Amino acid sequence: MEKISTRTLDPTLIARLSAGDAAAFRQVFDLYHQKLFAFSLKFTKSRVLSEEIVQEVFIKVWENRAGLNPELSLGAYLYKITQNKVFDFLKKAALDQSVKKGLIRHVERMCDPIEADIFLAEYETIIKAAISQLPPQRKLIFEMSRDQYLSHEEIAGQLGIAKNTVKVQIVKASRFIREYLHRHADIPLALAAWLAMA
């Protein structure tokens, strides 16, 4: 994922923007529009939606211009706003089966490694909380499948139960965890990744 840099910016540009200088705002728009659009497009796969996201980003920047800190990275600020709006889209899209597969293919490639680690850590915490609420046998079966990578047949053999019982229990566990994520997760990329597993 391309990082947005502000190293080449005139150090007075943010101060001018903060003061309400329309020319400075236009300069910032010209500098970052294509980068933010490209970033959004990689996730949304929609030029129209990506353009809407970028427009919303710059509207927010202008509305909050007085609070901009000239000492901070404008690029990081713009990137964060764009990321949040893209994530809002992903959170909704992750519930749509028609776009789910397309999103998952791009999750790892699009995420900054450090951010991805954070998302995955939060995701794993929520998953563990959901698993802990499963009935004992369902929890055991799910963990044998997820953590030990055992097949339905192997789990059935070890527990002395029918293979179909294993399948039913895993389906029920997956449904519960998916619903739990919908209620609790504020990490759409991880949510999308989980949905792809179900």
Encode pLDDT of 1-60 as tens digits: 333 333 445 568 888 888 888 998 999 899 889 889 888 887 777 788 888 899 999 999
Task: List CB contacts of 157: < 8 A, sequence separation 6 or more.
Answer: none
Label residue 133 by pLDDT band (50, 70, 90).
very high
Q: How far is the C-alpha of 126 from the C-alpha of 119, rounded, in Å?
A: 11
Question: What's the domain range around 84?
Answer: 13-93
Residue that wins the pLDDT comparison between 65 and 188: 65
Residue 27 lies in a domain: yes
Distances (CA, A) of 2 to 20, 37, 112: 29, 12, 9
Mean pLDDT score of the chain: 75
CATH number of residue 128's parent domain = 1.10.10.10
Q: How many domains does the chain have?
A: 2
pLDDT tens-place string over residues 51-90: 889 999 999 999 988 888 777 677 778 888 888 888 777 6
Q: What average pLDDT does this structure show over 172-183?
A: 80
Q: Are 191 and 133 in contact (CB under 8 A)?
A: no
Q: Are 155 and 144 in contact (CB under 8 A)?
A: yes
Termini Cα distance of the chain: 27
For the ranges 112-121, 155-164, 186-195, the one whose mean pLDDT is highest: 155-164
SS3 of residue 32 by DSSP: helix
- 110 and 59 assigned to the same domain: no
Answer yes or no: is pLDDT of 187 > 60: no
- 101 and 190 assigned to the same domain: yes
Considering 93, 126, 158, which residue would you say is the last residue of a domain? 93
- Classify the phi-psi angles of 20: left when phi > 0, otherwise alpha if psi is within -120 to 50, otherwise beta: left
What pLDDT, on the 0 to 100 scale, is given for residue 195? 41
What pLDDT, on the 0 to 100 scale, is given for residue 191? 44
pTM: 0.46
Lowest mean pLDDT among 67-76, 100-109, 125-134, 139-148: 100-109
